[in-house]
Amino acid sequence: MNLKVKLFADGADKDGMLEMYANPLISGFTTNPTLMKVAGVSDYESFAKDILTYITDKPISFEVFSDEFDEMEKQGLEIASWSENVNVKIPITNTKAESSVKLIDNLSSQGVSVNVTAMMTVDQVQSVLPALSKGPGSYVSVFAGRIADAGLDPLPIMREVVDLLKDYPNIELIWASPRELYNVIQANDIGCHIITATNNILKKLPTLGKDLDQFSLETVKMFYNDATAAGYSI
């Protein structure tokens, strides 16, 4: 299947990231502190700088982790200095629900490529566009999967953001937090620029367009083989 949407790998496991780096379908990478914690990363800076010795020619996002805007700006400038292919992830607010727009404006004005993360509404996206327009290529990450987790259809929101960004050629929309491979198709169909997904989703890419009768037969064989291997009897 010929996809126009760019595929980013979302994770912080070194081996998994390097596996995806070797995959020509993968155009970039995203990380966050939660993924790093799950992967057992204990030294943020050492991990990031190590990965950047391997991933040198594709965009990769690293997120600030302070809750105070002055410190977030210092962290963002430091992270941005690590490599030209680094994007600095800034959450749309801090934990006190205070807007990060001023911080985003400051970093963008200093030439930092910012990836604004944890957004779930069109209003949030609209609030950051003037700031991001001042900087180099930047991203808005809208968590479509979490919108769906709230029982809402993310497609109208994602479509509206795609339309908004037609006036901002330096800003790309990332479909974040997908839940299944079909989200790749949805992102592609609405003209979303990028979808970032974990390796367990990206590894299913070869099944796109698969014949359903063949897929059904493979599933039946899987059940039979697993039951046989387990030695089940009645």
Give the C-alpha distances (Å, rounded to integers) separating 150 from 22, 125, 144, 196.
Answer: 35, 19, 10, 20
- 55 within some domain: yes
Q: Tell me the per-residue pLDDT of 137-188, one tens digit each, with 9 for 90 and over.
A: 999 999 999 999 999 999 999 999 999 999 999 999 999 999 999 999 999 9
b/e map of 105-126 (b: 16 or more CB within 10 Å)? bbbbeeebbbbbbbbbebebbe
Average pLDDT of the residues in 22-44: 97
The enclosing domain of 69 has a CATH number of: 3.20.20.70
Q: Tell me the per-residue pLDDT of 93-126, one tens digit each, with 9 for 90 and over.
A: 999 999 999 999 999 999 999 999 999 999 999 9
Range of the domain at 21: 6-207
In the chain, the number of structural domains is 1
List the catalytic residue out of 4, 37, 58, 89.
89
Q: Given the structure tokens 């083989």, which residue do they identify?
A: 225
- 106 within some domain: yes
- 222 within some domain: no
Catalytic site includes residue 166: no
pTM as predicted: 0.95
Q: How many whole angstroms separate alpha carbon 25 and alpha carbon 178?
A: 17
How high is the pLDDT of residue 209? 93
Average pLDDT of the residues in 122-135: 96
- 18 within some domain: yes
- 224 within some domain: no
Q: Tell me the per-residue pLDDT of 194-211, one tens digit each, with 9 for 90 and over.
A: 999 999 999 999 999 999
- 216 within some domain: no
How high is the pLDDT of residue 2? 87
- 220 within some domain: no
Q: Output phi, psi for 80, to 5 deg.
A: -65, -25
- 202 within some domain: yes
